[in-house]
């Protein structure tokens, strides 16, 4: 029989068997992976189990006009890794479920799986199972399981008045990258290198797993979450879950990448838009001012910059401090699936 060209030719079970053949033997806490009705996962005693799941829907989360199979395979796992990183968790095993059009070419799916498994290997994650169905529209569902350090993850609701607010890496890159990919923002020829960097930051975000584990082990962090909806929206989640607190952000401290700064200095974007833009998948966390020296020590060891960008206040609302003025940032923004349509 000649090599199948489409998923319909390959068949669901042909794909599952081909995938199973590519996986290493189940080890450590994953006792049984693909092949039975359910996977068998036996975590170590005294460690809490963390489970996160995300769905990516064609036309909502991704557009084939500018998203390759490999980029989508990478990102579908990366966003889940970021969720575990936000709780200081150590990823262990993952479940991948796919709703795919039968007309989809086999080579596309192979490229998707290659990128997914490559990232899984990088973070020591084992594919334990999932499901596949035929559908007119592509839907990707990923469920990632992991272990919490000493059985106790970092939650988003632990911030206290007076705590410092920190952000890893930079923000706004993914927002600008998406605008460039969609054609809503045009880059001057002098900024082509910056534009390429920003596009890649949208398509292939870096999950801060090692940093999350390091922060959890330090005991210095009071609350943490990842920046998926945008700094403004996610900070709003943290403030709400911490009892309805407020925050002040210092503009002079907000960390921009070289590429985002190029666009900012060219008057192509402002701070408010960058703060509202999502999908940077950096870690936003709080810590007592008494922990500053410990955070500085961690920052020196981390492979990513940690920046103190503001502080938690008792009054509700988020304010921006710049040149001696205090400005309310108003609506927290962020993506709401029931209030937005399309990519």
Q: If the chain, 343 residues long, is cut into consecutive pieces of 10 residues, what is the mean pLDDT of each piece?
A: 77 85 83 71 75 92 95 97 94 96 96 98 96 95 91 90 98 98 96 98 97 96 96 94 96 97 97 95 98 95 95 94 89 47 55
DSSP 304: S
Separation CA 106–CA 15 (nearest Å): 9
Domains and CATH numbers, the chain: 7-151 (3.30.1330.10), 164-328 (3.90.650.10)
Place of tokens 């189990």: 49
Q: What is the pLDDT of residue 20?
A: 86
Q: Structure tokens of 184?
A: 């809503």
292: phi > 0 → left, psi -120 to 50 → alpha, else beta; which? alpha
Count of Cβ atoms closer than 10 Å to residue 185 Cβ: 17
Rg (C-alpha) for the chain, rounded Å, is 21
- DSSP state, 244? S
Q: Provide the 10 A C-beta neighbour count for residue 192.
A: 10
Laid out side by side, the sheet with 48-57 consists of 48-57, 139-148, 90-100, 126-134
The predicted structure's pLDDT at residue 232: 95
The confidence score (pLDDT) of residue 24 equals 86
* 310: Cβ contacts below 8 Å, ≥ 6 apart: 164, 165, 247, 248, 249, 250, 253, 321
Tokens of 319: 């304010």
| Eight-class DSSP state of 169 | S
What's the full length of the chain, in residues? 343
């Amino acid at each position: 029989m000649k090599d199948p060209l489409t998923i319909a030719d390959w068949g669901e079970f042909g794909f599952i068997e081909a995938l199973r053949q590519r996986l290493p033997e189940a080890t450590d806490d994953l006792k049984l992976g693909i092949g039975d009705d359910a996977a068998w996962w036996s975590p170590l005693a005294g460690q809490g189990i963390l489970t996160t799941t995300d769905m990516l829907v064609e036309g909502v989360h991704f557009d084939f006009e500018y998203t390759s199979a490999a980029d989508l395979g990478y990102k579908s796992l990366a966003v889940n890794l970021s969720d575990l990183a936000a709780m200081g968790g150590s990823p262990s095993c993952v479940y991948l479920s796919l709703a795919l059009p039968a007309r989809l070419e086999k080579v596309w799916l192979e490229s998707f799986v290659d990128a997914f498994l490559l990232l899984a290997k990088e973070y020591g994650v084992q594919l334990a199972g999932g499901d596949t169905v035929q559908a007119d529209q592509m839907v990707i569902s990923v469920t990632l399981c992991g272990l919490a350090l000493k059985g106790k993850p970092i939650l988003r609701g632990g911030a206290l008045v007076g705590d410092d607010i920190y952000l890893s890496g930079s923000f706004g890159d993914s927002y600008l990258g998406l605008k460039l990919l969609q054609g809503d923002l045009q880059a001057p020829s002098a900024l082509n290198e910056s534009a390429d960097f920003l596009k890649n930051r949208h398509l292939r975000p870096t999950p801060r797993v090692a940093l999350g584990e390091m922060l959890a082990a330090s005991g210095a962090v009071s609350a943490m979450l990842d920046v998926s909806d945008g700094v403004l929206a996610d900070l709003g989640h943290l403030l709400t879950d911490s009892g309805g607190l407020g925050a002040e952000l210092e503009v002079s401290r907000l960390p921009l990448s070289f590429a985002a700064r190029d666009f900012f200095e060219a008057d192509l974007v402002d701070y408010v838009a960058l703060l509202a833009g999502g999908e940077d998948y950096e870690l936003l966390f709080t810590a007592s001012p008494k922990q500053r020296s410990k955070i500085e020590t961690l920052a020196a060891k981390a492979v990513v910059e940690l920046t103190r960008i503001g502080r938690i206040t008792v009054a509700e609302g988020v304010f921006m401090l710049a040149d001696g003025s205090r400005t309310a940032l108003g609506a927290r923004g962020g993506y709401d699936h029931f209030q937005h349509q399309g990519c």
